Every structure is written in C-alpha cells, then in structure tokens.
C-alpha cells in the first residue's frame, strides 16, 4: 500500500502547550486561556499538509483548516471588532458571507486559513 496524505505519519509536534494561569487579573486569566487554546490547536495541526488540513473525517464535513479559520474569525471579531471597535479586518471584510454552504469549515472552503495568518498566531495578544 502506497502512503497517501491521510496515512503519512507526521513528525512529533514541537509547539509547547501554554499553561493558563490559575489566578491573576481578569485580563491575565482571559488572555492566558486564549493563549492556551491557540497553543493546543497549533500543536494539533503542526506538521500537517494542506491536504490533511482540508480532509474531513466522517460523519462531519468540518476540517482542521476550517477550525483554524473559525477560531481566527471569532477571535478577530470579538476582540478586534466588538471590544476594540475596529472595522472587520482582512480577510473577513471581503468574505462571501452570503454563501452559507459551509461557512469556511468544510473541505472546499474559499476562506483563507494560512498558518501564521490572522489571530491564530501564538504571538498575537488580543489587547496589544
């Protein structure tokens, strides 16, 4: 059997998982848990190919790339738009919101979900 993108083993992840604080100010705890969520998702998707990120596993049509896109959008919407009052940033400002077919979560999504693009980056703080 020849290996495919779905069966090719991926290297052991190297992204450390950020441990959120057990105490602190509301902002410290909130940003700590956001950093924790980012680091876990980045670790889970580290080393995967574009094909692996776009592969949906039954019974769902959701892909890992779709989850990355979703997290980037939600974080940017709530912290950039709702909290900071900025207008929607690229690529969300031109997203095809009228197309409700998969909302960017499925394997044929047209929404961008490049690694390191947008708020999913582990180095970006929501209030910085």
Q: Give the confidence band of 109 by pLDDT, cuts at 50, 70, 90.
A: low
Rg of the chain's alpha carbons, rounded to an integer?
16
Residue 25 has pLDDT above 90, yes or no: yes
pLDDT of residue 35: 92
For the stretch 43-100, pLDDT in tens is: 888 888 899 888 888 788 888 888 888 888 888 888 888 888 898 888 888 877 676 5
Q: Alpha-carbon distance 124 to 116, whole Å?
A: 10
Q: Give the confidence band of 113 by pLDDT, cuts at 50, 70, 90.
A: very low
Angle at 109 between CA 43 and CA 78, to 5 degrees: 65
Would you call 76 helix, strand, or coil by DSSP?
Answer: helix
pLDDT of residue 114: 40
pLDDT > 70: what percent of the chain? Answer: 67
89 closest CA partner among 99, 98, 104, 77: 77
pLDDT of residue 111: 46
- The angle that helices 64-75 and 26-45 make with each other, rounded to 10 degrees, is 160
């Amino acid at each position: 059997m020849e290996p495919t993108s779905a069966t090719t083993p991926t290297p052991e992840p190297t992204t450390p998982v950020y441990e959120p604080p057990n105490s602190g100010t509301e902002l410290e705890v909130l940003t700590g848990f956001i950093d924790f969520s980012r680091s876990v998702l980045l670790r889970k998707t580290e080393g995967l190919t574009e094909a692996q990120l776009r592969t949906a596993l039954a019974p769902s049509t959701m892909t890992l790339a779709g989850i990355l896109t979703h997290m980037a959008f939600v974080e940017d919407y709530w912290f950039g738009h709702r909290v900071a009052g900025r207008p929607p940033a690229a690529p969300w400002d031109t997203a095809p919101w009228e197309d409700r077919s998969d909302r960017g979560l499925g394997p044929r999504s047209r929404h961008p979900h490049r690694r390191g693009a947008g708020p999913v980056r582990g180095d970006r703080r929501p209030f910085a």
